[in-house]
Amino acid sequence: MIELTILGNSAATPAHDRHPTSQVLALPHKHFLIDCGEGTQIQMQRYKVKMGYIRNILITHLHGDHFLGLVGLLSSMHLQKREEDINLFAPIDLMEILRITFKYSHTVLNFKVNFFPLPPQSGEIIYQDDQVSIETILMNHRIDCYGFVFQEKTKKKKVLVDKLPPDTHWQILVALKDGQDILDESGNLLYRCEDYTLQPPSYKFVHCSDTRYTESFLAQIAEANMIYHEATYLHEDVHKAEYTFHSTAREAATLAHKAQVGKLVIGHFSSRYRELDAHLHEARRIFPNTFLGIEGDTLSVELPKIEIPKVEK
């Protein structure tokens, strides 16, 4: 399961019992904290997200509602005797903010923070392992601001074992999973890989942080299984969105529609709106598979099901 848990969904300031921006993306065997607004560690406690699970933190930009909870979170990890490294991906100036803060509080963390400055370009791979890569997207905001594409690596093939003889050797199964054709000792083709396997789909999740409406990164986010996109305003306030370099719910939905994504989650709601139903209705008129990013909710990244053909016995 790939799941996104919303910890904070408010823009700029806490309002209406909503908290500044923070999310946790849970992938198999790893968790990524995306942004860390004020009160993030309290929200983690409230929604049962364990600090120890967090090994990677991504900060989209240096407006306070996206990073002012970070010092408190790192300090609490220190007080809990954490020893495991944290990887921190953020605009380079955050390193100076942390250095000065810990210098004057006379804090020396028990663990190492591996700081990775975000590059000035879109399309740069900032993280990868054997399961997933993370690529940068440049947002259109008042200051340098980033989004992220989480792309799963290609999985091993699924072998259609029912099409093979029941006594097929395990080494043949392994070779087919690895994409190899099977030949006999004379070099004759026994099993063509594409005839006896299916390719499982790989997930693609996109996080679009604070931004004016732009189609500049449409190709990068195309056909994602799920995207999160800010929807600070309703479209009746589009002039405010343009002035503050933010988006409306209609604009987020328009981008999702044009990118042909599977699911849209909207958040980062302005304090001028106590109720959020209008955001949902506005977005769903354009992109029906839209969901509000409500604090405490966990949304699944859904993959297409593999249709396994029936084999005549």
Q: Which residues are catalytic?
A: 65
Tokens standing for 253? Answer: 């939905």
Structure tokens belonging to residue 57: 């933190």
Buried-exposed string 57-94: b where 16+ CB fall within 10 A, e elsewhere: bbbbbbbebbbbbbbebbbebeeeebeeebbbbbbeeb
What φ, ψ does residue 296 adopt, rounded to 5°?
95, -15
**Of 221, 273, 218, 269, nearest in space to 248 by CA:** 269
Tokens of 228: 């999160």
Q: Judge whether 255 and 215 are in contact, CB under 8 Å.
A: yes
How far lies 69's CA from each of 17, 37, 73, 142, 157, in Å? 17, 5, 6, 21, 42
Cβ burial of 50 (10 Å; 0-12, 13-18, 19+) is exposed
Coil, helix or strand for 129? coil
